[in-house]
Amino acid sequence: MQMKYITDCLYYKNKPIYSTYIYSETSRKGAIVYKGAEIETTGTFSISQKENRLIAGNYNNIVVIDLERASAPYTIYDNKIINYNHTEYEGTIYSVGLGCYTEINTKTGDITWHQYFCNGEKCIHDILSVAVDKQHIYIGCDIGCLSYIDRNTHSVLETHSFSGGITWLCVLSAANGHSYSGLEVGTYMGEYAIISERKILLQKSTGSIIWRINRVEIEGAVYNVIAQSYDGIGIYTEDLILIKHIPTTDLVYTVEIDKDRRKLLGYNYYTGEIQSTDLFNIK
């Protein structure tokens, strides 16, 4: 299979779901692709899944798709931002765009828009990453400002500065099988950190863009597989020691981990070419 413009991929019931985003000077468009069928979108940057619900972050809206329903399978929330990235926490979808973020209450349908402040001023930059836990909303923008925001009051509690734009945020928890508990941070400059209670537990410099991190367990060992945009794909240990680098002449926004076929697949965004690696031969 050759697919162009893939931005994200995940699995549901052992079948891959892809998102695409196509930009031109006159339009933006994309799709959600599942089991050979397509749902057209306004251009999808990221997808996430919980149980039978798929959330798609699209240009100007968020779509929640019920993967088990054939009729009226989706709900559209027109939040009018770019929706580069999103996360869901306790029924609320948090999504980020240009200098702002929104909260979508999926029970009531209410949408609340919030201005983001970086370094004490109104942010005018792209916000590419967001993560949430019980107390905080974590947001990082394109100038490398990471903010801890009170989830109830939306006041900025603390900030951290990085050299590159923040492209990846994820809340890690030992209860979910991670070796560390804390906030995982990746940047456009290849900076990697895990921060917990104002302490940096792990800090590395990969030298390559950290766009999206996938974790995979192979024969008892856990690896971080990183989509590195123009830098290709990097395979690392949990402590982010490089094991293997797969270069690209294009850019890779996401990596598909197909355990049934024992394959790691990277999709080149513009050409649709696939970079394939044996999952059991990555050392």
Domains and CATH numbers, the chain: 1-72 (2.40.10), 79-170+181-198 (2.40.128.630)
Q: Which residue has the tokens 């410099």?
A: 205
pLDDT value at 71 more than 70:
no
Across all residues in the chain, what is the average pLDDT?
A: 93
User: How confident is the model over 101-123, as a mean pLDDT?
Assistant: 96
Contacts of 228 (CB under 8 A, 6+ apart): 206, 208, 209, 210, 211, 234, 252
What is the per-residue pLDDT across 252-268, written as a single tens digit (0 to 9) for each? 999 999 988 889 999 99
pLDDT value at 214 more than 90:
yes
Number of residues assigned to the chain: 283
Q: How confident is the model at residue 69 (pLDDT cuts 50, 70, 90)?
A: confident
Question: What phi and psi, each to the nearest 5 degrees, are found at residue 221?
Answer: -105, 140
Q: How confident is the model at residue 72 (pLDDT cuts 50, 70, 90)?
A: low
pTM of the model: 0.95
* One-character DSSP codes across 155-207: -EEEEEE-SS-EEEEEEE-GGGT-S--EEEEEETT-EEEEEETTEEEEEEE-S
pLDDT value at 1 more than 70:
no
User: How confident is the model over 144-161, as a mean pLDDT?
Assistant: 96
Residue 125: CB atoms within 10 A of its CB come to 15
Torsion of CA 121, 124, 130, 136, to 10 degrees: 20
Least confident residue range of 137-141, 163-167, 199-203 = 199-203
Report pLDDT for 37.
87
pLDDT value at 24 more than 90:
no
| Share of residues in the chain with pLDDT > 70 (%) | 98
Task: Select from 110, 157, 123, 164 the least CA-distant residue to 137.
Answer: 157
Task: Select from 196, 198, 165 the least CA-distant residue to 183.
Answer: 196
Please measure the distance between the N-terminal and C-terminal CA atoms of the chain and give it in whole angstroms.
26
pLDDT value at 175 more than 80:
no
